[in-house]
Structure 1
Amino acid sequence: MNLKQIERVKKISKADFISRYVKNQIPVVIEELTEDWPAYHKWKLSYIKEIAGEKTVPLYDDRPVNHEDGFNEAHTTMKMSNYIDLLEEKPTNYRIFLYNLMKDVPSLKNDFLWPDIGLKLVKQMPMLFFGGENSKVFMHFDIDYSNILHFHFHGEKQCMIFPPDQSKYMYKVPHALISREDIDFDNPDYEKFPALKNAEGYITNLKHGEMLYMPEGYWHYMKYLTPGFSMSLRSFPKNIANLSKAAYNVFIMRHFDIMMRKFKGQKWIDYKNEKAILNTHENLLNETKANRVFS
């Protein structure tokens, strides 16, 4: 894969952020956006354990999608205090994914400021994500195609992202938001997944307090280099086509996939995984033929 480092700035004006990055749908890391937040100094795992230790949280691991799983259904639960102890004790695959902890612990809302950065952010949806050392978030894109402000705290996290126009190389699973789950994006098997050689994306490591802007519909693969956690704020897509795709995903695709899992079971999952390869390789073959014609 062809990966380049995401551009970084220390600070940026609202006008420059919108004109340079949002309008052009280009990612950027803003390094010092959170330095005046209480969270910049307070948001460490020990603090979360102190104020939310008794909360029961949903946990996910890296097991493949199963036909019996519900949409974004947790694999197990644990008290937050026990989970943080686990994170600090040893590497673990267990992650907290898309969890509105601020609903359970409203005081957390006092620790951050809504960025005045030119995006109309959804105030009801500050979501938190936690992971242990070397835990990975499978390659996917968000169901609502939102513009994402992704803030990282406590430690370091690697982010690999791809624009939507690279979907043709990503082995997208039909009727889903994910790539084939057997792809190791740290060490891709190009014999099995040759289209990945053509994929052009971005990569960066986020450290404490840094924010990554991910434009609408970007694929993303996250790897926790150390135990840590992140917060995402989102703004609904501005592009009408992406807004339509988001509506389709939420109101049609998701429910159709759930129905097919119930009726066809694991055969439906296996069919989709096979189609991901067939569709991608067919697109790759057609692209190769077209390039030969015009070369």
Structure 2
Amino acid sequence: MKLNLEQIPRVKTITKADFLKQYFKPQKPVVVERFIEDWPAYTKWNLDYMSKVAGTKTVPLYDDRPVDYKDGFNQPHAKMKMSAYINLLKKEPTKYRIFLWNILKEVPALQQDFTYPDFGLRLIKGLPMLFFGGTNSHTFMHYDIDLANIFHFHFQGNKEIVLFNQQQNKYLYKVPHALITREDINFSDPDFNKWPALQHASGYKTILKHGEMLYIPEGYWHYMKYLTPGFSMSLRAIPRNPKNLAKAIYNIVIMRHFDNMMRRLKGQAWIDWKNKQAVIRTNTHMNQHAT
């Protein structure tokens, strides 16, 4: 048995008008296969090039260990020179990933390799972020704290993507006061005996390849697994839906600080309580749904 996932629609290219009408307004994801072929990055960006231009930079690394109360918000699990990290990626599978690596700040010259697309949304131009991963490394299922519209461009290799919209929250074992689901769910091959509510969730999937762009609508949950070593760049635009914008402000101003305070006060007991609540709340809803 597998998750109820439909393939994300794919187009070769798309106009601004068609994007706004067919995907942004209805808040549906889409893969655009040949949007960036005129970018220098399309031919230049690979792991060897990144090692050449950023090899001396020390980069923050993250793996798939469960959240620990002692970890700060987005605190890295290790650090390494970019050149050493890329050598590791090419040599063997590794759980270490880079995420939210701001290329304007770290390697400004990379900005010359791409242009900001005009999709009718105002992109936040100070935040082009890179994400790297090795074979079989993955992100936990999560949504972004600012519920942004995300344009995700992939380079080198293949990446598995699973998406859910916010209407699926009740089936996903969402952790309260957090932006993640239970971290022990394998969204590539979930155990439905352990996580039965997932059978009722409806989402999307695709395999993203070099040079392809994925549009992730506001607040969508996303799980990403690197099938081969590779990296991606995300550009983002603030949410247009007032409800999503209000939720983003709440997450940034209140939720994040409340969660950090509770970690300091209650330690691991707070994390354990949240993980238990994710199951209790999801099962309660599923039982109500069944009756």
Pairwise same-fold verdict (TM > 0.5): yes
2:188 equivalent to 1:196: no
1:280 maps to which residue? 282
2:226 maps to which residue? 224
Matches within 5 A, 1:80-159: 80-159=82-161
C-alpha distance in structure 1 between counterparts of 2:43 and 2:146, whole Å: 31
C-alpha distance in structure 2 between counterparts of 1:173 and 1:152, whole Å: 29
Q: Letter of the 2:15 partner, please give it.
A: S
2:168 maps to which residue? 166
CA positional deviation for 1:250:
0.3
Cα deviation code 1:208-229 (max 9, x no counterpart): 0100000000000000010000
Cα deviation code 1:53-77 (max 9, x no counterpart): 0000000011000000000110010
Q: Tell me the secondary structure at the aligned position of residue 179 of structure 1.
A: coil
2:76 equivalent to 1:74: yes
**TM-score using structure 1 length:** 0.97
Matches within 5 A, 1:229-248: 229-248=231-250
CA positional deviation for 1:102:
2.7
C-alpha distance in structure 1 between counterparts of 2:189 and 2:134, whole Å: 20
Instruction: Provide the aligned length of Structure 1 versus Structure 2.
Output: 289
Q: For structure 2, list consecutive stretches of 5 or more residues without a partner in the other structure.
A: none
C-alpha distance in structure 2 between counterparts of 1:108 and 1:230, whole Å: 13
C-alpha distance in structure 1 between counterparts of 2:41 and 2:141, whole Å: 28
C-alpha distance in structure 2 between counterparts of 1:70 and 1:251, whole Å: 16
Q: Letter of the 2:101 partner, please give it.
A: Y
Cα deviation code 1:121-173 (max 9, x no counterpart): 00011000000011011100000000000000011111000111001101000
Matches within 5 A, 1:46-61: 46-61=48-63
Answer whether contact 2:131 2:232 (CA < 8 A) is retained.
yes
1:37 maps to which residue? 39
Q: Tell me the secondary structure at the aligned position of residue 152 of structure 1.
A: strand
1:292 maps to which residue? none
Answer whether contact 2:104 2:126 (CA < 8 A) is retained.
no
C-alpha distance in structure 2 between counterparts of 1:184 and 1:53, whole Å: 33
2:11 maps to which residue? 9
Root-mean-square deviation (CA, aligned residues, Å) is: 0.6
CA positional deviation for 1:285:
1.2
C-alpha distance in structure 1 between counterparts of 2:289 and 2:114, whole Å: 47
2:185 maps to which residue? 183
Q: Tell me the secondary structure at the aligned position of residue 181 of structure 1.
A: coil
**TM-score using structure 2 length:** 0.98
2:207 equivalent to 1:205: yes
